[in-house]
């Protein structure tokens, strides 16, 4: 999995970070994760580079080092357009590292989440560039095996395909663990699902899905549990509605179910390049050339000579004749650009002053080299997603213009935002209470004169509350704002949505903390719901701890979640609100209870590798146990053994949801459901508790058993919920 940070964002170096790695001077960090850190580096000439260093613990693993050595070999072999070049590497060092050029820009998924799908010439340039990159990869005898939106950077110079962490040679020489399915659900070819085969044709299938996603902003095979997505990939048709007609045939050919029916990368790149050239020629005729100052025009007369009667002109030896214009039978001559991809690519350049300032101070007046590479070229060996703090920046700030007073009150200084730690489950400050610690259910119990006086006020928040809120003004408010943001980021990162980190402001009059999300165009409703729930939980837990710790001085006990449609909006939509004195978890009669929104969150694919591994282990264990129970219990319909069982996690309520898809009404009766629920708790709880005891960052001990009657399209019914801790 790749990690990309904010566009052009260099974070401060951490204690213990090296000052130099190989020939590169390190000026900060671009990202970090479970398997390594990516540092921002500079060459002696000021060239910006991304240096990936593997953690020492991973470097001690011979198998891991062999995979890293293979990654270096493959990356060095591949050269071509729209790729990020490998500059240097030392796989034999105590802490192995590799350095690539640095290219500013968001990944495709980040760009679409903020601005929507690619359109016009940019879309055609994206299709052409990525196909050319795959053609170069395949020409080198390499298979990428992880083509997906997170592995394509939209740099100002064009798309850049990243990440050879799980690539392998087309001749089959690779270093991978036996039995591990490589790739990302939804971006895996049908033949890879069926047999584990991953060849160049598999890359082209993923390319077709990539272009459909870039054109529409929708995952072409939808979302849901990995096994559901796999079924659609193998048996269903991709959703290409909204893909431009000129591209649709090319994409459809790449998405053919049988690998032999797909077009190759070179053929696809050629088809896309021809389409791109057609778009370039539609820009319009070239402007008239200015008169040559070295040539004196002929005097005008009353009867200028016609072409038939005028004598041939003597060529001026001082002027080099212009090349003939290209033939165009459909209109006046046009002058297509030399490189249509560059000419039609409309991704603005971004920069971070830290790069420029550091380079200038070190070079003492030397001219900085041209920037070559990505927002953070972080390969598959660096494990988890990080936040995207630049996503909430007001364009007016970047342009240097003045924003409205309303927008200004909602803009937080970047310095108050704590740097992400890289782990999708790393908690914020200790008092945030969104991790494993208990959250006070009645934080004001016994407080004689609490500063929070709106307890029990059910008044819904209004736009006035949002407009009246302002950025943190005290040290305590600043600390709470940072804790809330960190907690939201932690929850959303498990679903690879940390870029939706909210703004946090304070309405002192209303004693309300305001969390604002957006703008993100075409955001699926399920993701916005998850944002609302994550923001509410983060605020509730943090405020509950504050109220309990300082009831006579901390006045904020309410929270409200809003969504704005533009950076300069003077109004926002209220998504929800609550009070930290009411308890933060969903309970019925004092017992934790699962909820439909938790089911929806659990069905969203997880971006956390530990969650994926735990879910896979419990899923398989429950399935085996259930089939054994069905085989020996006369009260359970035999066909129940064939029903699909899946598990996912809701990061908000810290709960595991396990559901069975009952297509045959095999578990319709209460006895059968009780049987299934009993088996789930007996099988799942020991595994959840074992992880809980071994991993201090593991928060999931609650569980909920769900039955989908008639298939996944039916209404889910929560059979029972509980907590493995008792």
* 384 phi-psi bin (left φ>0, alpha ψ -120 to 50, beta other): beta
Question: 149 near 213, Cβ under 8 Å?
Answer: yes
What gap in Å lies between CA 608 and CA 317, rounded to an integer? 70
What gap in Å lies between CA 41 and CA 102, rounded to an integer? 9
Residue 721, CA atoms < 13 Å, CB-side half-sphere:
23
What gap in Å lies between CA 579 and CA 77, rounded to an integer? 58
What gap in Å lies between CA 284 and CA 464, rounded to an integer? 49
**Residue 719, Cβ density class (10 Å: 0-12 exposed, 13-18 middle, ≥19 buried):** buried
Phi, psi (deg, nearest 5) at residue 156: -60, -20
DSSP-based three-state secondary structure for 475: helix
Mention every residue, 6+ apart, whose C-beta is less than 8 A from residue 452.
Answer: 444, 511, 547, 551, 554, 555, 556, 557, 581
Question: 97 near 51, Cβ under 8 Å?
Answer: yes
What gap in Å lies between CA 680 and CA 658, rounded to an integer? 8
- Residue 146 annotated to the active site: yes
Which residue in 90, 109, 146, 596 is the catalytic one? Answer: 146
CA dihedral over 91, 92, 93, 95, signed as positive or negative:
positive
What gap in Å lies between CA 189 and CA 207, rounded to an integer? 10
What gap in Å lies between CA 169 and CA 278, rounded to an integer? 35
Beta strand ranges found along 469-526 (DSSP E): 503-507, 512-517
What gap in Å lies between CA 328 and CA 350, rounded to an integer? 38
| Strand pairing category for 702-709 and 655-662 | parallel
Residues in the chain: 726
What gap in Å lies between CA 159 and CA 81, rounded to an integer? 9
Residues forming the active site = 146
């Amino acid at each position: 999995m790749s990690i990309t940070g904010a566009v052009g964002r260099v974070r401060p170096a951490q204690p213990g970070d090296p000052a130099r790695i190989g020939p590169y001077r390190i000026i900060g960090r671009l990202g970090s994760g479970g398997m390594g850190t990516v540092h921002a580096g500079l060459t002696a000439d000021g060239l910006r580079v991304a240096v990936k260093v593997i953690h020492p613990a991973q470097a001690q693993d011979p198998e891991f080092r062999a995979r890293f050595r293979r990654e270096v070999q493959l990356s060095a072999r591949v050269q071509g357009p729209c790729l990020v070049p490998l500059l240097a590497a030392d796989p034999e060092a105590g802490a192995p590292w590799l350095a690539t050029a640095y290219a500013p820009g968001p990944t495709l998924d980040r760009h679409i989440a903020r601005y929507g799908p690619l359109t016009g010439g940019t879309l055609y340039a994206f299709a052409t560039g990525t196909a050319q990159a795959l053609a170069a990869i395949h020409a080198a005898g390499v298979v990428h095996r992880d083509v997906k939106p997170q592995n394509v950077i939209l740099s100002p110079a064009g798309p850049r395909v990243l990440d050879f962490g799980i690539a392998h040679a087309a001749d089959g020489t690779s270093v991978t663990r036996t039995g591990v399915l490589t790739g990302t659900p939804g971006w895996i070819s049908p033949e890879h699902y069926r047999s584990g085969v991953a060849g160049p044709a598999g890359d082209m299938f993923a390319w077709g899905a990539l272009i459909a996603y870039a054109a529409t902003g929708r995952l072409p095979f939808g979302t849901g549990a990995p096994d559901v997505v796999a079924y659609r990939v193998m048996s269903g048709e991709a959703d290409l509605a909204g893909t431009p007609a000129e591209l649709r045939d090319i994409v459809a050919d790449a998405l053919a179910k049988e690998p032999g029916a797909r077009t190759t990368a070179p053929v696809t790149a050629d088809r896309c390049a021809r389409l791109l050239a057609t778009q370039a020629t539609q820009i319009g005729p070239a402007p008239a050339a200015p008169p040559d100052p070295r040539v004196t025009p002929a005097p005008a007369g009353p009867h200028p000579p016609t072409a038939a009667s005028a004598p041939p002109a003597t060529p001026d030896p001082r002027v080099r004749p212009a090349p003939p214009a290209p033939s165009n039978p459909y209109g006046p001559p046009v002058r297509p650009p030399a490189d249509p991809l560059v000419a039609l690519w409309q991704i603005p350049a971004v920069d971070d002053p830290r790069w420029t300032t550091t380079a200038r101070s070190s070079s003492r007046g030397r001219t900085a080299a041209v920037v070559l590479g990505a927002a953070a070229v972080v390969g598959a060996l660096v494990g988890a997603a990080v936040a995207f703090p630049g996503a909430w920046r007001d364009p007016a700030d970047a342009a240097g213009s003045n924003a409205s007073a309303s927008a200004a009150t909602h803009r937080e200084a970047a310095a108050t935002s704590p740097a992400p730690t890289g782990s999708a489950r790393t908690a914020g400050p200790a008092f945030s209470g969104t991790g494993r610690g208990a959250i006070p259910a009645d934080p004001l119990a016994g407080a004689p004169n609490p500063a929070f006086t709106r307890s029990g006020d059910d008044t819904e928040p209004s736009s006035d509350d949002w407009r009246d809120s302002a950025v943190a003004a005290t040290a305590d408010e600043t600390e709470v704002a940072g804790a809330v943001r960190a907690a939201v980021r932690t929850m959303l990162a498990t679903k690879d949505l940390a870029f939706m980190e909210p703004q946090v402001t304070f309405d002192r009059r209303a004693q309300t903390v305001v969390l604002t999300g957006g703008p993100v165009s075409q955001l699926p409703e399920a993701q916005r719901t998850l944002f609302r729930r994550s923001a509410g939980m983060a605020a509730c837990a943090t405020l509950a701890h504050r109220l309990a710790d300082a009831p006579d001085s901390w006045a904020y006990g309410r929270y409200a979640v809003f969504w704005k449609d533009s950076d300069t909006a003077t109004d926002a939509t209220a998504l929800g609100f609550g009070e930290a004195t009411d308890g933060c978890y969903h309970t019925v009669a004092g017992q934790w209870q699962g909820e439909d929104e938790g089911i929806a969150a659990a069905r969203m694919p997880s971006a956390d590798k530990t969650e994926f591994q735990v879910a896979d282990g419990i899923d398989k264990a429950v399935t085996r146990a259930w089939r054994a129970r069905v085989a020996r219990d006369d009260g359970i319909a035999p066909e129940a053994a064939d029903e699909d069982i899946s598990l996912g996690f809701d990061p908000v309520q810290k709960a595991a949801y396990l559901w069975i898809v009952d297509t045959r009404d095999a578990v319709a009766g209460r006895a059968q459901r009780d049987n299934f629920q009993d088996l789930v708790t007996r099988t799942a709880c020991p595994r959840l508790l074992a992880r809980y005891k071994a991993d201090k960052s593991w928060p999931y001990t609650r569980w909920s058993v769900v039955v989908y009657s008639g298939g996944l399209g039916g209404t889910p019914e929560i059979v029972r919920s509980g907590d493995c801790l008792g």
